[in-house]
Each structure stands twice: as structure tokens, then as C-alpha cells.
């Protein structure tokens, strides 16, 4: 190690300048904006006490947004269990596994806006999903042959959030699969072989060996996807644009700023979201701090 | 006895492959469907299941048979400025990759290999930003970028006396710079490179110092070649993330001629083009193909490079 203050800061300067402007400054500026009325055109600001916070506290739309963001958490256990199972499946030493891993990763590398457009056509009332369900139900004679399934996947408020979750599930599973794969590959094969010799079946092996041994990865992925679920909103932008009662907390932040031009209210809501993410991060740190 | 074992094994294997295949269909069906849709004459078969997954063409009598037409692919280039979007994507992505790699390498080297005042504080401060929701910064960053533009105009007025407002185009709203600036310096890249630099044996650096190499030469001649795989991984991640980035570019790049594919194509598909579903699906396929081709060549970085970043 060489001691050289000047050179070190010279190397660090670009990173510190950019992070200072675009990562640290926004936190401070958001806090400032949250307590002010802000005029984007002239940049005029006016202190308004806690009016922005009172406004979001009382606004039903923000309540809906918070409720939806919390509702979205139910996607977390589903996506974790599924991606762990998938990771387990592609972790076999069988031909074609690299191919399947790549195929499962494709949704992750597809732009969310482009994938969202296809999915809106899948979710349409006369779209692919309803057509698919009709075909299956007709085949098993579970639905009148002359009628088609016409579920409003993205228009019906009681369903729309769940449709967005399906999209999130589709988009995210490959990402967590890769993380679990890394965890699984750290398990010595002898452990599982010993269990097979002892006559443990696949179910027991999964719950008694795999799950306990990848517990650190499970904790990490659960935290990542919990924070991800609370922050969900690009999905809303591309699928429903907030219609059908699908506002989420960050969609509200975005909507207030760029449609209502109410930057103060937006910042106040953004500050609330940042606060909850920091709380979650602190919990995460307690879990992983000693690692 | 042996037969039973073989049979059992065969059953398990086919069950495994069946579920692998079924799940593969789940992850790829939207793209396969879009491809079949975009290559068909019209949408009359597309919504039928399972025929919709195979492209159909109609002959002059209106009879549909399996076949491929490229007319909608051609329409895409006529109806939307696809080439312009593509060029924008390439420029923005190149800037982001170069910027991220240079800034991360420069910042990670002292953090990993030098002793200086405030080292731990700076490292912790950088890592903590991983927990901030970047999405909440969209509004302040938008205002910052807008102020950059105003500042550029003021500078132009002061330095050249012209009030044309052309300098705004370089760093203000609707500039390539604005699309990449908030993301080039990030905790992920710095952390990834710091890990890589820390793994380089100290002997190598000492040997270089004995030979009289300066700090810059050590970084350039010793560190960079040894950590090339990590740099490649960082570059590839940045490339795909920037290429696919949608929200931030859609906020700052309001001018159509500056938009990348993910933004421009989305706006056109949900706006003027939403009537012609075949063109829409063809445009989607064209947008996804470059990423898929790139992914096909670099996928081992995604599948294996990530675990290094997580640990």
C-alpha cells in the first residue's frame, strides 16, 4: 500500500463528482423540495411547512398507491420459491443446461418497455391469454363452446395488480435463478449423494438440504426482491399507466412530478419511499453485516 | 432390478426435461408470438391458439397457410425512424460503457490499493448509495439536468455573446449526456472493480514498483490486463442495462430524434402505430434481436459473472 492523498483523490474525483451531483445531491434536494412549493419554470420556491406531507397523508390516491406497493409483496415468496426450484433444475449435469439457463435469462435482458407492449397484447380482453384459456377450457369441456373467456386482465381494478405481478414474475425469475445458481454450486455434491444413499426422497432433500444450505442466498434474494417489489413502477408505466387503480408509491412520485408538475408533493412522497427503503436496508445490514 | 432402476431414471429425466421445456416456453412465448405475428400477413390467425405461434400468410383467395412475409419488417423502417433510434441507442450505450468503465476503474484502484485520508469513509458512503432508491432521484436529477442546460446557455451568452441556445444541446435536456450522466458513477461498478483489484497479488505490484513504474503505469500496464475479465463483465452489464433503460431516458429525452430504441419504439408503438399490430410486433422483434445476438455471444458473463458481484 502506498500513501498518496493527492493521487488517490485525483483518481476518485470523477466518481465523486458524478455521484455527488446525481446520487447524493438528489437526497438533499428531495428533502428540500418536500417542504416547499416549487415552480419548475422559474425555479421559485416557497416554504410551506408540512403542507406536502399533509396532502399525501390525506390523499386517497396515495393511500391506494401505498396499498398496492404493499400488496405487491406477495410476489416475493412466489418468485423466490420458483427461481430456487428452477435453479435446482438447471444445476444438473445434463446436456442442454446452458441453453435452458440462457433461455430463462432472456426476459431479464429484454427492455421493459418492449416486453410490456407484447404483454399488453397478451393481457387484452381478446388477447392471447384469454384465447389460450378458452382453448384449454373448451378442450376439457369446462366452458360453453360458443363462449370465450373475456377477463379484463389490465382493466379490471381487482385483477390488474395481479397481472402486473405475473409480468414481474416473468421478467425477474431469470435474475434470481442466476443468484441461486451461484449459491447451489457452493454446496458440495457429497452432501446430496450421502442423502440419496440414506434413501431421502427429492422432496426431503430439497427442504432439508438445499433450502438450509442456500439460506444466505435466500435471505439476500428475498431482501432484493422485497425492495424491488416496494419500488415497482416501471411495470405500471408500461402496462396500465396507472389506470384501473394500479398506482404504486413510486408511480405516484413520478405522476405527481411529470403529469401534475407538483414537484413538492412528488418529493415528499419520494422521501417517504426512500425512508422505508433505508429501513429495509438497515434490516438487511443486520442480517448480512457480519458476513 | 436393474431394469426398474433404468426405468426410474428415465422417468425422472423426462420429467425434468418436460418441466425445463415448459418453463422455457413460459419465458420465451411473448417473443416467439411477436415474431410469428410480425411475420404473418395479418392478425387474423395470431390470436388463435396454438396456430398463432406459427407465421401464416394469406394467398390471393384469402386462404391462410403457414409461411413468412417480410413486408411488415419493411414497414417498420418506413413508419418509424428505426435507424435513428438505433444510432441513438448505440451512441448512448457506447458513452455509458466507456464512462462507467473508466470512472469505476479509476475510483476502485485507490480504494483497493492505496492508503489515503478518508478511504473507509468514502468507501462506506459509496456502498450506502446501493440502498437508495434511484427512482426517487428522477425528479431532482431532471431539475439538475435542466439547470445544466440553462447554465450552458448562460455560458454561451457570456463567452460568445450569442443567445442561440445551442450549447444547451450538449449537456441539457435532450442531450446524449443527460441520458448517461446519472448512471456512469455507481456503487456496483466501483465495488466490482475494487474486488477485482484486491484479488491481484501484491508481488506483481511490488515487482512493477521495483522496476520504477509510476502509479499510472501500474494501473495501466499491470492491473488492467490482469482484471480484464471483470472489466469485460462490467462493460457487458452496463451495455445491456443502458440499451434497455427506459424510464430515465424517456424523462430527459423528449425530442424524438434523440431517443434510443427502448423509448422511441415504445412511444411509437403505444401512440401512432398501435393500430397496426403486425408492424408493432415486427418492430418489437427488430428491437429485441440486437440484444439477443449480443447475449448469445456473451451469456457466460451473465450466468457466471454475477456471483462475483454478489459476494
Query: Which residues in chain A touch residue B186, judged by CB atoms under 8 angstroms apart?
Result: 19, 23
Q: Is B64 helix (H, G, I), strand (E, B) or coil?
A: strand
Residue A139, CB half-sphere, CA atoms under 13 Å: how many? 8
Which among B144, B278, B223, B309 is positioned nearest to A19, based on CA atoms?
A: B144
Average pLDDT estimate for B206-232: 88
Q: What HEC string does A148-182 produce?
A: CCCCCCCCCHHHHHHHHHHHHHHHHHHHHHHHHHH
CB distance A250–B136 less than 8 Å?
yes
Task: Please say whether the beta carbons of A239 and A167 come within 8 A.
Answer: yes
Domains and CATH numbers, chain A: 35-288 (1.10.3720.10)
Tally C-beta pairs within 8 A across A and B: 271
Query: Which residues in chain A touch residue B292, judged by CB atoms under 8 angstroms apart?
Result: 106, 109
Question: Alpha helix locations (H) across B161-260?
Answer: 168-171, 176-184, 187-198, 202-210, 215-217, 224-226, 228-244, 247-252
Q: What is the ipTM of this complex?
A: 0.87
User: Which pTM was predicted?
Assistant: 0.89
- A-contacting residues in B 145-174 (Cβ below 8 Å): 146-147
CB contact B137 to A (< 8 Å): yes
Question: Looking at residue B136, what is its pLDDT?
Answer: 84
Sequential pLDDT tens for chain A (291 residues): 555 788 899 999 999 999 999 999 999 988 888 888 877 766 667 787 788 888 888 888 999 999 999 999 999 999 999 999 999 888 888 888 888 999 999 999 999 999 999 999 999 888 889 888 888 888 888 878 777 788 889 988 889 999 999 999 999 999 999 889 888 888 888 888 888 888 888 888 888 888 888 888 888 888 888 888 888 889 999 999 888 888 999 999 999 888 888 888 898 999 898 888 888 878 777 776 544
Dump pLDDT digits (tens) for B16-32.
Answer: 899 999 999 999 999 99
Query: Which residues in chain A touch residue B306, judged by CB atoms under 8 angstroms apart?
Result: 178-179, 182
Question: How long, in residues, is chain B?
Answer: 311
Angle, CA of A115, A184 and B301, to the nearest 5°: 50
Task: Please say whether the beta carbons of A264 and A48 come within 8 A.
Answer: yes
Average pLDDT estimate for B231-240: 90
* Percent of chain A topping pLDDT 70: 96
Residue B113 to chain A, least CA–CA distance (Å): 6
Task: Please say whether the beta carbons of B243 and B260 come within 8 A.
Answer: yes
Question: Looking at residue A3, what is its pLDDT?
Answer: 58
pLDDT grade for B309, boundaries at 50, 70 and 90: very low
Domains and CATH numbers, chain B: 94-259+300-310 (1.10.3720.10)
Query: Which residues in chain A touch residue B148, judged by CB atoms under 8 angstroms apart?
Result: none
Q: How far apart are the first and last CA of chain A?
A: 24
Dump pLDDT digits (tens) for A175-226.
Answer: 999 889 888 888 888 888 888 888 888 888 888 888 888 888 888 888 888 8
Query: Which residues in chain B touch residue A86, judged by CB atoms under 8 angstroms apart?
Result: 23
Task: Please say whether the beta carbons of B13 and B270 come within 8 A.
Answer: no
pLDDT surpassing 90 at residue B166: no
CB contact B200 to A (< 8 Å): no
Dump pLDDT digits (tens) for B112-157.
Answer: 988 888 999 999 999 888 878 888 888 889 989 999 988 888 888 8
- A-contacting residues in B 72-91 (Cβ below 8 Å): none
Average pLDDT along chain A: 87
Question: Alpha helix locations (H) across chain B?
Answer: 2-38, 71-79, 82-113, 119-128, 138-160, 168-171, 176-184, 187-198, 202-210, 215-217, 224-226, 228-244, 247-252, 261-270, 277-310
DSSP state of A209: I
Amino acid at each position: 500500500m502506498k500513501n498518496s492523498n493527492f493521487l488517490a483523490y485525483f483518481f476518485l474525483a470523477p466518481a465523486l463528482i458524478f455521484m455527488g451531483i446525481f446520487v447524493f445531491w438528489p437526497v438533499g434536494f428531495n428533502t428540500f423540495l418536500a417542504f416547499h412549493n416549487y415552480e419548475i419554470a422559474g425555479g421559485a420556491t416557497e416554504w410551506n411547512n408540512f403542507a406536502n406531507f399533509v396532502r399525501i397523508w390525506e390523499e386517497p390516491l396515495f393511500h391506494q398507491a401505498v396499498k398496492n406497493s404493499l400488496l405487491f409483496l406477495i410476489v416475493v415468496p412466489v418468485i423466490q420459491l420458483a427461481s430456487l426450484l428452477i435453479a435446482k433444475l438447471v444445476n444438473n449435469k445434463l446436456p442442454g443446461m446452458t441453453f435452458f439457463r440462457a433461455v430463462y435469462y432472456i426476459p431479464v435482458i429484454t427492455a421493459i418497455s418492449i416486453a410490456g407492449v407484447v404483454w399488453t397484447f397478451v393481457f387484452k380482453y381478446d388477447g392471447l391469454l384469454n384465447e389460450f384459456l378458452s382453448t384449454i377450457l373448451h378442450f376439457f369441456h369446462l366452458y360453453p363452446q360458443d363462449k370465450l373467456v373475456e377477463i379484463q386482465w389490465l382493466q379490471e381494478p381487482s385483477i390488474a395488480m395481479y397481472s402486473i405481478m405475473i409480468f414481474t414474475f416473468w421478467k425477474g425469475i431469470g435474475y434470481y435463478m442466476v443468484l441461486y445458481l451461484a449459491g447451489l454450486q457452493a454446496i458440495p455434491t457429497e452432501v446430496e449423494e450421502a442423502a440419496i444413499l440414506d434413501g431421502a426422497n427429492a422432496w426431503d432433500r430439497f427442504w432439508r438440504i438445499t433450502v438450509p444450505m442456500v439460506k444466505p442466498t435466500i435471505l439476500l434474494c428475498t431482501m432484493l426482491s422485497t425492495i424491488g417489489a416496494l419500488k415497482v413502477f416501471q411495470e405500471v408505466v408500461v402496462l396500465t399507466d396507472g389506470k384501473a387503480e394500479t398506482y404504486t408509491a413510486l408511480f405516484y412520485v413520478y405522476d405527481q412530478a411529470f403529469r401534475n408538475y407538483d414537484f413538492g408533493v412528488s418529493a415528499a412522497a419520494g422521501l417517504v419511499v426512500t425512508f422505508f427503503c433505508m429501513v429495509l436496508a438497515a434490516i438487511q445490514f443486520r442480517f448480512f453485516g457480519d458476513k | 432390478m436393474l431394469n426398474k432402476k433404468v426405468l426410474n431414471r428415465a422417468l425422472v429425466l423426462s420429467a425434468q426435461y418436460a418441466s425445463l421445456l415448459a418453463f422455457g416456453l413460459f419465458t420465451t412465448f411473448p417473443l416467439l408470438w411477436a415474431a410469428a405475428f410480425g411475420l404473418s400477413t395479418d392478425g387474423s390467425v395470431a390470436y388463435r391458439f396454438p396456430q398463432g405461434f406459427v407465421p401464416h400468410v394469406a394467398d390471393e383467395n384469402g386462404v391462410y397457410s403457414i409461411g413468412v412475409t417480410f413486408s411488415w419488417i419493411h414497414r417498420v423502417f418506413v413508419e418509424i425512424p428505426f435507424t435513428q433510434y438505433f444510432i441513438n441507442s448505440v451512441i448512448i450505450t457506447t458513452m455509458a460503457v466507456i464512462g462507467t468503465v473508466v470512472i469505476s476503474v479509476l475510483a476502485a484502484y485507490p480504494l483497493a490499493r492505496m492508503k489515503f485520508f478518508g478511504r473507509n469513509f468514502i468507501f462506506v458512503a459509496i456502498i450506502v448509495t446501493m440502498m437508495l432508491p434511484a427512482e426517487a432521484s428522477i425528479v431532482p436529477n431532471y431539475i439538475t439536468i435542466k439547470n445544466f442546460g440553462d447554465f450552458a446557455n448562460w455560458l454561451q451568452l457570456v463567452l460568445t455573446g450569442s443567445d442561440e441556445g445551442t450549447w444547451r444541446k450538449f449537456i441539457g435536456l435532450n442531450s446524449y449526456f443527460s441520458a448517461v450522466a446519472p448512471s456512469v458513477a455507481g456503487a456496483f461498478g466501483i465495488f466490482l472493480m475494487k474486488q477485482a483489484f484486491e484479488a491481484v497479488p501484491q508481488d506483481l505490484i511490488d515487482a512493477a514498483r521495483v522496476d520504477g513504474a509510476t502509479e499510472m503505469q501500474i494501473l495501466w500496464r499491470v492491473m488492467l490486463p490482469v482484471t480484464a475479465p471483470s472489466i469485460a463483465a462490467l462493460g457487458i452489464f452496463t451495455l445491456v442495462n443502458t440499451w434497455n433503460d427506459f424510464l430515465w431516458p424517456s424523462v430527459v429525452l423528449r425530442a424524438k430524434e434523440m431517443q434510443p430504441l427502448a423509448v422511441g419504439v415504445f412511444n411509437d408503438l403505444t401512440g401512432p402505430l398501435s393500430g397496426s399490430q403486425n408492424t408493432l410486433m415486427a418492430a418489437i422483434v427488430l428491437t429485441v434481436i440486437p440484444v439477443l445476438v449480443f447475449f448469445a455471444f456473451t451469456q457466460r458473463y451473465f450466468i457466471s459473472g454475477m456471483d462475483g458481484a454478489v459476494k
